[in-house]
Amino acid sequence: MRVVLQRVSEASVMIDGKVKSSIEKGFLILVGIEAEDTQEDIEWLCRKIINMRIFGNEDDKMNLSLKDIDGEALIISQFTLHASTKKGNRPSFINAAKPDLAIPLYEAFIKEFEKQFEKEVGTGEFGADMKVNLLNDGPVTIIIDSKNRD
């Protein structure tokens, strides 16, 4: 499972011209799921993200977590995070999990994140054509892959 974590001042997602979810200061989390991903990947990633200290403290040092700042989170599914660009100019998405596996894992990710975060999060809609708007703060963007834990 791979995520792109963006520290934002605000973010929102629109589907069919209507805002589905919006947040203020916190994280926009783009989630890419592979067929091999498990509940263990989900739990590890959620814990890692929630405790990631990339918000500024009183000395403007990145030392505070999402919980420390009472921030918000917006979680969006994005299969293109597993694009392979080795051959040619058209990406292959063969490593991305098919919807029958990815949808339950995406929903489990949201539930686990809310459980660990102890707060409801905003979401997109799996498979929908979404328009994501964000104001990246910093900018701070971090890529985390659950297969690279060691």
Q: Determine, yes or no, domain membership for 150.
A: no
Q: Label each residue of 89-148 as H, E or C.
A: CCCECCCECCHHHHHHHHHHHHHHHHHHHCCCCEECCCCCCEEEEEEEEEEEEEEEECCC
Exposure of 14 by Cβ count < 10 A (0-12 exposed, 13-18 middle, 19+ buried)? Answer: middle
Among residues 64, 54, 42, the alpha carbon closest in space to that of 108 is found at: 42
Segment 51-64 shows an average pLDDT of 96
Residue pLDDT, tens place only, 91-130: 989 889 999 999 999 999 999 999 999 999 999 999 999 9
How many domains are there within the chain? 1
Among residues 125, 137, 131, the alpha carbon closest in space to that of 71 is found at: 137
Whether this model's pTM surpasses 0.85 = yes
Task: Quote the pLDDT of residue 47.
Answer: 97
User: Where does the pLDDT of residue 136 fall: very low under 50, low under 70, confident under 90, or very high at 90 and above?
Assistant: very high
Measured distance CA(17)–CA(11) in Å, rounded? 15
Q: Determine, yes or no, domain membership for 18.
A: yes
Segment 26-30 shows an average pLDDT of 98
Cα maximum dimension of the chain: 48
38 noted as active-site residue: no
Q: Determine, yes or no, domain membership for 73.
A: yes
Domain assignment of residue 139, given as a range: 2-145
Catalytic residue among 38, 80, 123, 141: 80
Q: The domain spanning residue 140 has which CATH number? A: 3.50.80.10
Q: What is the average pLDDT score of the chain?
A: 96
Q: Determine, yes or no, domain membership for 126.
A: yes
